[in-house]
Amino acid sequence: MTVPALQTKELFKSFGSFVATNGVDLTVAAGGRHALIGPNGAGKTTLINLLTGFLSATSGEIFLDGKDITALPQHQRVKRGLARTFQINRLFADMTVLESVAMAVGERRGFGARFWRPIGRFGDVLDEAAQLIERLKLTDVATRRTRDLAYGKQRLIEIALALAAQPRVLLLDEPAAGVPTSESRELFDTLAQLPADVTVLLIEHDMDLVFRFADRISVLVGGAVLLEGTPDMVATDPLVREVYLGEAQDV
């Protein structure tokens, strides 16, 4: 059996007396396109925060490529190939797409962010940045400032910045949040075309997008996994329909 890219065993997280993560066993296959769904307050973001190390687990274990990372701080997990997106900060907002991505590539290669200007001399950094930009279909806006771009494009830049670290596992918490429907499909189509060796675990509310993208879905309810299965299994499960899909249809 191949080693899962990411796995949790009996993972718990309490905030005081409130149990936000209630014994989660999650298995994300290497190269998987795995979606985490569930009603508001189900504990999806908390679970992602436990995986990245932003929050520490109350008990249980987390494995990355079969290695126990439960006790590792965030930056060590990043070093081992676990990446998440962050909102573009103001520094990036004033830079062009190419500058931003080149800086992230340069940082991974050990150039400090302060030395951005000399980086321009290193053609291979720019080449790698240009390739990433092309992969995320941002080539036509590469020389524009990120703050001037549509929100959907900005989310793609955030994903490009995360990919600059060359992660094996990418975690995305509602990548299409705030993105107009007209752009969200394009965003997900681009995500679907990421290299197969990058494992993706994402949270998404829009069921159309989830079913287009995911090959595996975990349904989280009340901090626990109600069901894990293929999109077909999840779509036809009566309990899921009652707890989650039924609710979504009422909105």
Nearer to Mg ion, 44 or 216 (CB): 44
Of 28 and 149, CB closest to ligand ADP: 28
The nearest distance, CB 166 to ligand ADP, in angstroms, is 27
Select from Mg ion, ligand ADP, none the partner in contact with residue 46, using the beta carbon and a kind-dependent cut-off of 5 to 8 Å.
ligand ADP
By beta-carbon proximity to ligand ADP, the closer residue of 81 and 223 is 223
- CB closer to ligand ADP, 38 vs 53: 38
DSSP the chain: -PPPSEEEEEEEEEETTEEEEEEEEEEE-TT-EEEEE-STTSSHHHHHHHHHTSS--SEEEEEETTEE-TT--HHHHHHTTEEE-----HHHHTSBHHHHHHHHHHHHTT--GGGHHHHTT-HHHHHHHHHHHHHTT-GGGTTSBGGGS-HHHHHHHHHHHHHTT--SEEEEE-TTTT--HHHHHHHHHHHHTS-TTSEEEEE---HHHHHHH-SEEEEEETTEEEEEE-HHHHHH-HHHIIIIIHHHHH-
Q: Tell whether residue 14 is a contact of Mg ion (CB under 5 A).
A: no
Minimum gap (Å) between residue 135 Cβ and ligand ADP: 28
Site of interaction with ligand ADP (CB under 6 A): 15, 18, 20, 38, 40-46
- Minimum gap (Å) between residue 217 Cβ and ligand ADP: 14
149 binds, among ligand ADP, Mg ion, none (CB under 5 to 8 A by kind): none
- In whole angstroms, the minimum distance from the beta carbon of 40 to Mg ion comes to 7
Which of 22, 27, 45, 190 is in the footprint of Mg ion by CB under 5 A?
45
